[in-house]
């Protein structure tokens, strides 16, 4: 959908990995027949979910763009296949992800990355902004931004006590 606001919710303990889409805390996704544009996810507490806490993803030829993820807490998310990220911009199923922003969030104690920006070769990921976030004590990386995605801006983030701070 477009122009939706997901604000001030507690999203806790959704399923375990392998349970379909129910494992994510909050999912913004472009799927068959629709795109996810100009949405705001703000002020939520997302914890103990079976995969990513907050995931922004696109599938196939669809577009998930110009979404704002701001002022959320995403913590202690895990997955049986190791995909427990706090917040993810995920192009693993192709599609276009353009102009999404992750601003002023706190990600801590997640199984993998605090913030992940990655996708496969069929995904087009452009103009992502990751600014002013705190990523603390995540098992792998505070912020992981794959080098294959163009025009990303990563600045003024605090990363501490992660496996790797920023990669």
What does the pLDDT read at residue 83? Answer: 86
Average pLDDT estimate for 141-155 = 86
What does the pLDDT read at residue 36? Answer: 94
More confident: 16 or 47: 47
* C-beta contacts of 22-25 below 8 A and 24+ residues apart: 22/50, 23/49, 23/50, 23/51, 23/79, 24/49, 24/50, 24/51, 24/52, 24/53, 24/54, 24/55, 25/49, 25/52, 25/53, 25/54, 25/55, 25/74, 25/77
Average per-residue pLDDT for the chain: 91
What does the pLDDT read at residue 99? Answer: 96
pTM of the model: 0.94
> pLDDT digit string (tens) for 74-104?
999 998 778 899 999 999 888 899 999 999 9
What does the pLDDT read at residue 43? Answer: 98
> pLDDT digit string (tens) for 19-29?
555 688 999 99
Average pLDDT estimate for 146-153 = 78
In percent, the amount of the chain with pLDDT more than 90 equals: 71
Q: In the predicted model, is pLDDT for residue 17 greater than 60? A: no
Cβ atoms < 10 Å from Cβ of 63: 16
What's the token pair of residue 13?
A: 């303990």
DSSP state of 23: G
């Amino acid at each position: 959908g477009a122009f939706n606001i997901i604000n001030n919710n507690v999203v806790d303990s959704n399923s375990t990995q392998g349970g379909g889409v129910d494992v994510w805390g909050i999912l913004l996704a472009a799927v068959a027949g629709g795109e996810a544009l100009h949405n705001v996810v703000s002020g939520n507490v997302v914890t103990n979910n079976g995969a990513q806490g907050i995931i922004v993803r696109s599938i196939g030829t669809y577009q998930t763009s110009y979404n704002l993820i701001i002022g959320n807490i995403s913590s202690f998310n895990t997955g049986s296949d190791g995909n427990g990220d706090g917040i993810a911009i995920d192009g693993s199923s192709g599609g276009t992800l353009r102009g999404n922003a992750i601003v002023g969030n706190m990600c801590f104690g997640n199984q993998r990355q605090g913030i992940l920006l990655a996708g496969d070769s069929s995904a087009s990921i452009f103009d992502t902004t990751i600014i002013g976030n705190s990523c603390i004590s995540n098992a792998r990386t505070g912020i992981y931004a794959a080098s294959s995605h163009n025009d990303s801006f990563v600045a003024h983030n605090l990363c501490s006590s992660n496996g790797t701070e920023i990669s």
